Structure 1
Amino acid sequence: MAEENSVQAETQIAGTEPKVKPKRAPSQRKTAAPAKATPNAATANTPGSKVRKYSADERAEKLTMIQSLLSVGKSTLKDALKQVGITEQTYYNWKKAAQPASQKTAEPVSQGDDLKDLLDLEEENKRLRKILAERLRAENAELRKRLGMD
């Protein structure tokens, strides 16, 4: 309130109205988003491009081709990927997906074999415990003789 009184008093003394800033009109929004820079225009997701889906055989073929290019030592990983026509992220995704598949093909063990192995281990465990108990009894008896406790 004190400020209003002081502003009114100043305007009456000076005889002029206080200056009011003109309001700005809201700015226009851009209609299209700016295009992102992509390193490879062929792999960019533009409206005219089509997303390519590879079959498992094609993926395996491309992965082996990349491995062969790398093993020769003439090219780097990025060069090999460019020659094959896939991105680095796609390569790592395919490689990760291919690893568990190769591990699954290892010899599957049936449940019957597991049970048989478990029973064999239990029998061996009993046999070894008996041998250990006999040796400990013999050692105990020998120590008692030496100490004269018997």
Structure 2
Amino acid sequence: MGQKVVLKPWSPKEVHKDQKKMKVKRKSERKTNRKIRKKEKKKKGKKKGKKRWERKARVKEPYLSGKSKIKEEKIKESLLVGPKEVRRVILAKKEPLFALLTNILLHASPCVGKLLKEFKDVFPEDIPHGLPPLRVIEHYIDFPLRASLLNRLAHRTNPEKAKNMETSQ
């Protein structure tokens, strides 16, 4: 460790020659990686066919003339919904249905599973005796007596309901 190292600067020719070698090496690595990826895709395509969370569905679209056109489209069967899909449902004025899954692990690598198996005694299946059970928290506003109701655009209330609420206080 106590040795001195002296770096000798390269001439421009040597630098250029080294860069060419590195460029050729990178290209060959990319080609081999592409070939490997193509082979893997072919193997996956033969095994699965369709993706697990996608399927094709035939949808009839009505024309103005009364005839209908059959259109194939991909439908996602995933548990996750993106913002575009939520927006599409809202703009179509359809009633959105939501399910909240609390105990789902979407993308866990195998090493995480092995680690969890090692510490199975640390993560018990049931809740320990001293802890409260899982429950939903309900949020509400508790108005004090004689509090006036907000009448702004975001908080506007029905006048009849407001009178009933004020008289009940």
TM-score w.r.t. length of structure 1: 0.26
Tell me which protein shows more strand as a share of its residues: 2
* Bigger fraction of residues in helix: 1
TM-score for the superposition, normalised by structure 2: 0.24
Of structures 1 and 2, the one scoring higher in RCO (CA 8 A, sep 6+) is 1
